[in-house]
Amino acid sequence: MRTIKGETGEWEIVVGLEVHAQVVSDAKLFSGASTAFGAAPNSQVSLVDAAMPGMLPVINQKCVEQAVRTGLGLNAKINERSVFDRKNYFYPDLPFGYQISQFKDPIVGEGILTLDMPDGSTREIGIERLHLEQDAGKSIHDMDPHRTYVDLNRAGVALMEIVSRPDIRGSEEAGLYVTKMRSILRYLGTCDGNMEQGSLRADVNVSVRLLGDTDLGTRCEIKNVNSIRSVRQAVEVEARRQVEILEAGGEIEQQTRLFDADRGETRAMRSKEEAHDYRYFPDPDLLPLELDPDWIAEIKASLPELPDAKKARFEGDYGLNAEDAAVLVADKEDAAYFETVAEKRKDPKLAANWVINELAGRLKDLDLEIHNSPVPAAALGGLLDLIEDNTISGRIAKDVLDDMFATGKDADALVEEKGLTQITDTGEIEAILDQIIADNPDQVAQAKETPKVAGWFVGQVMKASGGKANPAVVNQLLAKKLAE
């Protein structure tokens, strides 16, 4: 949804996203404490994380490298000099009493993220900046009716805050943006993208304006949205709320809000702060961060093939359409699986179809990811070999794939075991076809007048042969007999 039709006109939905991505690193941004997920509360807290007197932060080089790597992956400007600032704001679960972040001089500047639209087109969204900052801890409100408990395991964990320009239009593009961002981060290995565990979260900035206006409306920020579905819903709910207020003659108050997925509403938390409210100033315990250009070049040289480049290669090398290529490259494990199946194949499009539709559908039904597939890529490739050499039909192959999921056996073994080899003997197929023609003279007359009706005969032959007749042979014989 890009627009909302109201009583006074059509309103355009304008969105900007701030994605908070937890950096893949064994240690926190300014301490050596572990970042492993699921540890006992407060078991991964160093003296630095606890803000004990005299403890000084020391930058984690791995986190800096991951930020640079991400910036390069987003085609963004890497700033050779950046500064860490103190963001003065009360966090009940961050012992410092302020957050070490970056403001005027971030580590990464402007970049671009390309959206793959459903119609196969692309759209560029501007990236304003990427900066490093430390995460806060976690306040737990449901363990005691009278107390709030604090777990500091996350306190000090490195985050990359990636800020988009307000170039996103509507809920669909917002979802596509987060999906594409997560895909790039996973390809780069800089964030695992696990939204359920909080490794990736988004602050969603929403405003509306009458279609055709160029000035931005007053925005509201919806904090800590933790699923792509919720991002889409939050945009739609908040946009409708704003349109209702404006059409009633009211004004939008700039606020920070929360999205309640159960109630389908956003709720005000507080008035939205401006930068000066945080009283940013350079952290006196941390020197400016200066990067060696040669080091940046080394990181750039080590980047993997990213989704956009892989998509272009899949279109060129395998002849896939833009939509199928975009689906396959969205996840690097899906892309790797497809390439194994497509390797040395006569028709790579056949591989794409089976991975996207047949395999993915069965995995979804079983709630499995592709790396847990009961049918490895090589095994699916073996099944497609049997289709391409006419050993079995595509219809039979679907049943064989079901059996492969259930038994773990290879396609060759199942086809032999169940006697599923395709009938290619012209005489055997002709005998079946002759009998069907003899039993259905009315359909024969219709087929001669209307060629589309001929498909009925093909279906009857396939049914009579248990799906084992070679469709190409059936069609060839049928065309000959209908022409007599």
SS (H, E, C) 150-204: EECCCCCCEEEEEEECCCEEHHHHHHHHHHHHHHHHHHHCCCCCCCCCCCEEEEE
How does pLDDT run across 77-105, given as a tens digit for each residue? 999 999 999 999 877 888 999 999 999 99
In which residue are the tokens 């910036």 written?
71
How does pLDDT run across 379-400, given as a tens digit for each residue? 999 999 999 988 888 888 999 9
Q: What is the dihedral of CA 173, 179, 185, 191, to 10 degrees?
A: 120
477 vs 484: CA distance, rounded Å: 11
CA–centroid distance for 15 within its chain: 18
Query: What amino acid is encoded at 241 in this protein?
Result: R
Q: What is the mean pLDDT of residues 240-263?
A: 95
Considering only CA atoms, which of 123, 194, 205 is closest in space to residue 164? 205
pLDDT-derived band at 302 (thresholds 50, 70, 90) equals: very high
Question: In the Cβ-directed half-sphere of 301, how many Cα atoms lie within 13 Å?
Answer: 6
Q: What is the mean pLDDT of residues 307-331?
A: 95
How does pLDDT run across 172-187, given as a tens digit for each residue? 999 999 999 999 999 9
84 vs 41: CA distance, rounded Å: 28
8-state DSSP, 469: B
The packing angle between helices 332-342 and 322-329, to 10°, is: 120
CA–centroid distance for 75 within its chain: 19
408 vs 72: CA distance, rounded Å: 42
Classify domain 426-482 at the CATH topology level: Arc Repressor Mutant, subunit A (1.10.10)
pLDDT-derived band at 341 (thresholds 50, 70, 90) equals: very high
Domain range annotation of the chain: 3-299, 305-418, 426-482
What's the pTM? 0.87
410 vs 403: CA distance, rounded Å: 9
